[in-house]
Amino acid sequence: MKKLSVSPFALLFLAGQGFAQIPCGQFICFAIDVKCDAGANPNACPAGIAPGGAASTTVASGVTPDGQVVGSYLDSVGRQHGFLLSAGQFTTIDVPGSGSTSASGINPSGDIVGSYTAPYIAGVSDVASAEPPAYCPAVNSPACSKGFLYQHGKFSTVLFPGHHGATPAHIAPDGTIYGCLHDFDLMLSMFGAVWSRFGNTSLMANGTEVADGMARPMSMSNGATPDGHMIVGWWGDMITGRRHGFIVRDGQFESYDVPGATVTLTATWDVNPFQQFVGTYVAGGVRHGFLQNPDGSAPVNIDFPGAAATIAFGINPGGVIVGQYTMSGQVHGFVAIPTTN
């Protein structure tokens, strides 16, 4: 196996923030917590974080080939914000006027996708005549969750025609967006969806994303190879209640589960151009991250050292993985850089 030089990539995380590198199986891991240095100008801190403070929760969701990371964090009062980590510096991403924002995907051009919560305003946001981006029928209703695209310094709403809510997960180099549509719940009305310049498709009945046209509710299309020929995501079995991963290759749908007698859940979250895909699974009550290589070999476990749970959300062309881990009840983001290639 050829050694992969990780130093230049690692410097992106070490610069300015002092991220510690930790041996992590076949990876070198870096913990990520949105924070602000003590003594910093408060105006330069991420939103809701005071100098010397840190987020109560940090999740890393997407990573570019050159090491820019996007995700979300909870501030000191529990409000959710999106973030961009670039060259060791955090920048807050908030959709104007939203109740919360989460950034989940970024492409090589720097276009960012995610979701936000439209505010509930009695008699305004809950009426049938309300514009779809502003429609919010009740506090905490899934219909209030809208998708967004942040491109060239401007926000635009991402919604599927005829549906109230959407959750984009990742965005391809050509601007194609992968995620899900939904209405008033995140179960039977939630279907994997794709937004592209060629039109919108979904995993609803008679959809064109898969050849068989079968409806697959409780599903989410999370990422794809740049050519779109391989899409990954997860779906829920309505009979057993179990969650599985899925792969769509050239329109052919196939379910995917991490092998093992004690595995009770699998979810696939992203795939890179070389068909390496990542996600999470639960075995024996413990949640792990995983990397599946295209040769069909056994999945590689991704467990942040000492963590009670690990989830892998994103992978870039170099095999660099981002996600979250839980330790002592607190959620942190991480970056995992492979030591071999």
Query: Which amino acid belongs to residue 11?
Result: L
Residue holding tokens 């076949």?
A: 26
Q: What are 5-12's contacts with CB under 8 Å, separation 24+? A: 6/337, 6/338, 6/339, 9/67, 9/318, 9/320, 9/337, 10/337, 12/66, 12/67, 12/68, 12/86, 12/87, 12/88
pLDDT at residue 161, rounded to an integer: 92
Closest-CA residue to 195 (of 217, 163, 218): 163
Q: In the predicted model, is pLDDT for residue 313 greater than 90?
A: yes
pLDDT at residue 15, rounded to an integer: 45
Closest-CA residue to 282 (of 267, 298, 299): 267
Q: In the predicted model, is pLDDT for residue 263 greater than 70?
A: yes
Closest-CA residue to 233 (of 300, 302, 178, 162): 178
pLDDT at residue 187, rounded to an integer: 86
Q: What is the pLDDT averaged over residues 91-109?
A: 96
φ, ψ (nearest 5 deg) of residue 92: -75, 140
pLDDT digits (tens, 9 = 90+) for 136-191: 999 999 999 999 999 999 999 999 999 999 999 999 999 999 999 999 998 889 99
Determine the 3-state secondary structure of 27 from DSSP. strand
Q: In the predicted model, is pLDDT for residue 268 greater than 80?
A: yes
pLDDT bracket for residue 209 (50, 70, 90): low
User: Which percentage of the chain shows pLDDT scores above 90?
Assistant: 77
φ, ψ (nearest 5 deg) of residue 9: -65, -45
Give one DSSP letter per residue of 93-146, joined into a string.
Answer: E--TT-S-EEEEEE-TT--EEEEEEPPP-TTTTTSTTS-TTT---STT-GGGEE
Q: What is the pLDDT averaged over residues 242-267?
A: 94
C-alpha distances out from residue 42 to 35, 47, 48, 186, Å: 12, 9, 10, 38
pLDDT bracket for residue 129 (50, 70, 90): very high
pLDDT bracket for residue 208 (50, 70, 90): low
User: Which percentage of the chain shows pLDDT scores above 70?
Assistant: 91
What is d(CA 219, CA 313) in angstroms, rounded to the nearest whole number?
A: 16
pLDDT at residue 207, rounded to an integer: 53
Q: CA Rg, the chain, in Å?
A: 19
Q: What is the pLDDT averaged over residues 302-319?
A: 96
What is d(CA 227, CA 22) in angstroms, rounded to the nearest whole number?
A: 34
pLDDT bracket for residue 203 (50, 70, 90): confident
Over the chain, what is the mean pLDDT?
A: 90
Q: What is the pLDDT averaged over residues 203-226?
A: 75
What is d(CA 165, CA 260) in angstroms, rounded to the nearest whole number?
A: 35
Determine the 3-state secondary structure of 9 from DSSP. helix
pLDDT at residue 213, rounded to an integer: 61
CB 337 within 8 A of CB 32: no
Which strands, in side-by-side order, build the sheet including 154-158? 101-106, 112-117, 145-151, 154-158
Closest-CA residue to 274 (of 202, 205, 225, 339): 225
Q: In the predicted model, is pLDDT for residue 337 greater than 70?
A: yes
